[in-house]
Structures are given as structure tokens and as C-alpha cells.
Amino acid sequence: MSAELFPERDRTVGARRTPSYVEELNSAQHRAATHGEGPLLIVAGAGTGKTRTLVYRVAHLLDQGVAAERILLLTFTRRAAQEMLSRVERLVGSRSRAVHGGTFHATAHRILRRHGEQAGLASDFTIMDQGDAEDLMQLARARTGMGEKGKRFPKKETLHALYSRHINTDEPVGALLRAEYPQFVEYEADIVTVFADYVQRKQERNLVDYDDLLLFWATMLEAAPALAERIAGAYDHVLVDEYQDTNLLQARILRGMCRTHQNITVVGDDAQSIYAFRGATVRNILDFPQQFPGTTIVALEENYRSVQPILDTTNTLISRAEERYTKQLYTKREGGDRPWLATAQDEPAQTRFVVERILELHEEGIPLAEMAVLFRAGYQSADLEIELAARNIPFEKWGGIKFLEASHVKDVLAFLRVLENPRDEVSWYRILLLMPGIGELTARAAIDSMVRAAWHHQAFAEFAAPSRARDAHRSLVQLLHALRDAPAEGEGVVGTQILTIRQLYDDILRRKYDRVDPRLADLDQLQTIAGGYPSRAAFLSALALEPPQGTQDLGFDGETEDDILTLSTAHSSKGREWDAVFVIWAVDGYFPMSRSLGDPLQVEEERRLMYVAMTRARNHLAVSYPLNVYDTRRGADYSLDQLSRFLDRGVRDTMHRVVVEPPHDEVSAERNGPMEIDLRAILKGRFGGS
DNA sequence: CACGCTACTATTTTT
DNA sequence: TAGTAGCGTG
């Protein structure tokens, strides 16, 4: 109607599908979404509609006539990228599909595949995930003879972490050693030798690690003007989510990408910075206005997620933090209960509390999919997982041990990798050691002979294996031969290749492991996943950058449930929200972790992590902790735990205290008189058990 | 030289 | 608990 009455006015508003920003955004969100050119910093507290604002901003840019393919949206996780892009599409339709969105690493990968050759990088490089990189570091450690310095020399994980920190932060190795690993300071020169060998090895084998992806991207932007022009020139607007979790290297990339324009939008919350361990620095967001002069700052403070009692608790918790953009989150959401603080006798009691409360809330009509249990570290949910499985409550676990880290999966992938990149020493080594009759020395001899043959195609076939390894050598040659002859591209080829590998490998697996079935099931799953990729190369790259979240044990296969409880590490919970959230193991030494206690900065990060976990809740929040922990690390005895230091007096005052009832079987034992004989303890005793 | 056995140890978080 | 370093045996 009004369109007919005011045709002119309608035209000035723009296309009909234009979202009505004013109606759907509050004034701060609106200001951010419709910001014009120039740097923009959106300081967005938890639950303040950060994603919504960013989504509308992309829509706004499209409406302003910016071509979709000239917008680059960088996020921290794949999930965030997918969610953002699909929400933009829902808002403005398919024209948004050309928006480039992804993680820093995935975007770097795309750019390197396209422009890497002009920077001296072979286009068929293989991406190593963290485990691969550590294995290669181990090789460097062993081959440089540094591993034999006695037990004091850092392990491959430590070496890799140190190397990665160095690349991501630009801090000199010596400084990092003094700050993080004072016990290894004396080995600085040796460590650098190992690093040099690692880098050398990486290049010879045509391998690229996660850090290289970012480093090469940044370097091309900074040191190759013509190349930088082509890379950065592809985009007119760059938007970055979770900016508080970027590191110096990523900041360099952003400066490079915005060298000709200043159209950079970053969104973040300094109170949710939780990735310092991988080089992220909250300074990036605190110093953004200095880095990009003329920055417009917009703060989002109205929380749409949580009820006020939850905000009271989380606001109090984070008010203890030191340096930050001060925000006081508020909400118009009335009512709601205070968060619970549940004291349990021990771990089983805590588990029982969580499960029973989940069932209770479920009875009240909250779907399992709207509930989550969060914890500091993956293993902390073990007891809960067993109980959930026993009670047939379907759950899905995020974070924790990943599918690809399982050694049997890595074994199978090693075969594919060798085919894809015959110089992949790490994978060769892995495969060779699997074979009966081949040990460390034979494996090294085989690799050395391949090196001498310049990794010629037949190099392995020509290797003169010692007699005890003859059979193994022959069957491996046959297998690789068959795989090389197999079609390289087309529907399902990778799955077929895995099937071929398993003709050899399944027997090895049965010999190597006790619990065979779940592992075989994992390989079935790997085969299924592989079926969706057109080529081996595509499959391997995708695995490094987009690891599947499949969990092996205790999963619920068969009928696919759609109402599933979420278990997640606090880290993996970032950016998500649920109706009801449980935070378990709120014990000093667990959350915060004991390892962080020596460093005030790390304790602060743990506090922010607790804040992230607790702010995921919309209506119900329960924090729980067991009083006694049976902990083998502290001797074979129960120890008394202390509540997490983050739940100090002031925070507790905003919460509702609950004490978990003792278990039912003890109650019934009391009814029947004292226990005369403990059958279970006797049985355990037979095996010298605990 | 491979391999099975035992003892030990270190155990976050993610791309 | 699981992965691994070290050791003894065949």
C-alpha cells in the first residue's frame, strides 16, 4: 500500500529485499553495520549480537554495490565462517555466495595454491597438521644428534610449540626460552640447529606447516610488491571476526591486505581472548586504533542472550580482570534464576548431579540440543561420557582427541601421503615401521637409499631389503604399485584407494591393537569421508585444514539422533550458546589449570576462559565441583579440592548454592546395616588394582 | 637387528 | 591412560 502512495520514497530506500536495518538492529549495531569506509573496531561483549552485526554489515556492503567476490571475511574457526556465510545468504540471497569467507589458514592455503609458484613454492605442496609437524621435528631432533643430550633436551612437542611461537610472535627464540622454558636456555644454539634442520627438511620434502601458511602469506604481502598488489588487490573490504584471538603475524597479514585502502572491520571482545598459548595477543585489539589511524570504535553492550542473574555473575567474574575495554553488559531479559553452584562429594557425584539435572530440564521441555556441558580439558568429561552412554543419553563431543590424531587413521593416511608426495619422509618412516621385519634401522636405510636415488619412482622398489624384511618389502611395493595404477580422479577414487590399503593394513591393525573394532569403524568412516572428494590431493588438503569432528568410542551410530547433548571444551564453546550450560570441574588446579598458576597472565587467560564458558548460557547455568578427587598423580589417595579461585566471595554471592545428595546405593547400604565385606574391592584387589 | 615386555611419565586449549 | 623409552631375548 504505502509503496503505491509513496513510490519515490520506496525507490530511495533501495531494493525490496533490503533488510530493514533500523528495525532489526539496535542503534550501536546499526551504526556498525552501516559504517562507510575506513577502519572500524566493534567491541562486542558476549551475547551482544556480534555475528548478527557482522552479517548485516556484509549485507549492507552488498547493498551499497560492493561486489561479493571483493569482500573477504576472515574468521577464526570453520564453524564461524560457515555460520556467518549462511546467515548472510539467508538475509540477502544467493548473490552473497561469492563472498570469500574462511579461516586465516584456509584463506592462506587458497592464496598459496594460486600465487605460491611466483614465490618459489611448488604448487603441489602437502600441508602438515600439527602432529605431522611434530613428527618432522622429531626427525630433525634425532638426525641432528640433539636428541641424545640426555633427558633434558626438549621433546618434539615442546620444540614445535616453541618454533610455532617464534614464527607467530616474532619473538627471538632466546627470549621465548627465558620466558617460557628457562630449563632449556642452555640449549638455545642446539635448538636453533634443530629448527634449521626442520626448515630444511620441510623444504626438501615439499611440506608446508600451519605456520608457513600464514608466514608465506604475510611475506608475500610485505616483500613482493607486485604479488602483494595481486593478492591484496582482489579485495575492497576485509572483515575479521574474533579479533582478540589474532596474533602478530595475522595482524601483519591484515595490514598487508589493507595497504591500498583502509576498509577493515574487526570485531572482538578483549574479555574473551583465550588463545595466547598460540601466540594470540590481546594487544592486537587494544592497539587497533593506533595501528589503523582514524578508527571508528563502536561498543556493543546490550546482551540478548542471558537472563540478568547470569549476567550479574559473569559481570562480577570478569570485573576482576586487569586491562580491558570496560563494558558493563546489561539485558532487558527479565526474570530467570541465579546460576547454581553445586558442591559434589566426588567425581561420580558430580556426574550424577549433571546427568540428573539434564534429565530434569529435559522433562521441563528443554531439548538436549539446547544444553551443553563445558570443561577445561578434553579428558575431564570421561566419567560423564560413560554415564551418559549407560543412560542412553545421546551426546556429541567437541574438542578433545580428534579423529585424525588416532594413530590408526594416521597410518592409513601415511600411505595416501606417500603416493601424493613421494618425498614425504615422515609418512615413509611411519609406513615402514608398520611392516613386520622392518625396524628403525631398515627404515632409515630404505629412506637413505631413496634419497640417494633422488626419490626416483622406482627408488623404493630398488631398495635392497635385508632378508627378514623381504616379504614386507615385496608386499609394500606391490601395494604402492597397485595404488599408483589406480585412477587418480573421479567419484569415489580415494575411498577405493583406502580400501586397497586396508587389504594390507587391517591385518597390521589387528596385530598392533587390542581393541580392534572401534578402530576398524574409524577406518570405515575415513573411507566414507574420502568418498566425497574428487582426488587424493583435495582430500589430504581438506583433512589438514578441515578435520572432521568424528568421535570413535561411545558414539551413537545407527539411527541418527537429532536431539543431542553437547559436550565441549571451553575453548571450542566460543561463539556458541545454549539454553542450559553446565561448567564442571571448577576446581583450582583444573580450572584454572595448575600449570598456569605460576604466571599471572596465564591465570588471567584462564579467568577469561571461565568467563567465555559461563557466558554461553541463556537461561540456566550450573557450575559444579567435586570436593574429593581420586588422583593418581598426587598419590593413591583422595585429596581435598578447593573451589576455583575465580568463584570468589563476590561471585558466589550472586549464585545459588546446591549440595549434591549422597548416592543412593550408600543410602541403601545404611538401611541394611554396615558393610561386612566389600566384594568389589576384593575383586579389584586380585589385580593389584587401586 | 627386530620386537615384545616393562617401567615410566607427562597430561590444555586449536588452525 | 596411553604413548614411549629402555632393556633383554631370539
Cα A316 to Cα A34: distance, rounded to the nearest angstrom: 33
Which nucleotide is closest to A138, CA to C1'?
Answer: C4
A624, part of any domain: yes
Question: Is the confidence at residue A345, as pLDDT, over 80?
Answer: yes
| Separation of A677 CA and B12 C1' (Å) | 41
Domain span at residue A235 reads: 24-113+213-300
Largest CA distance in chain A: 94
Cα A263 to Cα A251: distance, rounded to the nearest angstrom: 14
| Separation of A198 CA and C9 C1' (Å) | 36
**Minimum-distance residue to C5 (CA–C1'):** A151
Q: Are residues A501 and A382 in the same domain?
A: no
| Separation of A3 CA and C8 C1' (Å) | 91
Q: Are residues A474 and A593 in the same domain?
A: no
Answer yes or no: is A632 CB < 7 A from strand C: yes
A498, part of any domain: yes
Helix or strand holding residue A343 (H, E): strand A340-346
Total structural domains within chain A: 4
Question: Is the confidence at residue A561, as pLDDT, over 80?
Answer: no
Over the stretch A392-430, which tens digit does the pLDDT of each residue have? 888 887 654 566 777 888 889 889 988 888 888 888 888
**Minimum-distance residue to C4 (CA–C1'):** A155
Question: Is the confidence at residue A30, as pLDDT, over 90?
Answer: yes
Greater pLDDT, A615 or A322: A615
pLDDT of residue A673: 44
Mean residue pLDDT of chain A comes to 82
| Separation of A546 CA and B6 C1' (Å) | 39
Residues (507-566, chain A) with CB within 7 Å of strand C atoms: none
Residue A185 pLDDT class (50, 70, 90 cuts): confident
| Separation of A611 CA and B13 C1' (Å) | 15
Q: Are residues A499 and A463 in the same domain?
A: yes
Mean pLDDT value across residues A226-230 = 93
Give percent above pLDDT 70 in chain A: 86
The sign one gets for the Cα dihedral A462, A463, A468, A469 is negative
Q: What is the CATH number of the domain that holds A78?
A: 3.40.50.300
Which segments within A104-215 are labelled E, that is strand? 126-127, 207-208
pLDDT of residue A491: 80
**Considering A494, A516, A545, which residue would you say is the last residue of a domain?**
A545
Helix or strand holding residue A562 (H, E): none
| Separation of A316 CA and C1 C1' (Å) | 38
Question: Is the confidence at residue A688, as pLDDT, over 50?
Answer: no
Greater pLDDT, A321 or A6: A321
Over the stretch A87-96, which tens digit does the pLDDT of each residue have? 888 888 888 8
Residue type, position A614, single letter: M
3-state helix, strand, coil in chain A (%, to 5): 55, 15, 30
Which nucleotide is closest to A546, CA to C1'?
Answer: B15
pLDDT of residue A689: 36
Residue A355 pLDDT class (50, 70, 90 cuts): very high
Answer yes or no: is A690 CB < 7 A from strand C: no
Question: Is the confidence at residue A682, as pLDDT, over 70?
Answer: no
A197, part of any domain: yes
pLDDT of residue A554: 33
A676, part of any domain: no
Cα A396 to Cα A36: distance, rounded to the nearest angstrom: 42
| Separation of A4 CA and C6 C1' (Å) | 87
Cα A105 to Cα A454: distance, rounded to the nearest angstrom: 31
Which nucleotide is closest to A148, CA to C1'?
Answer: C5
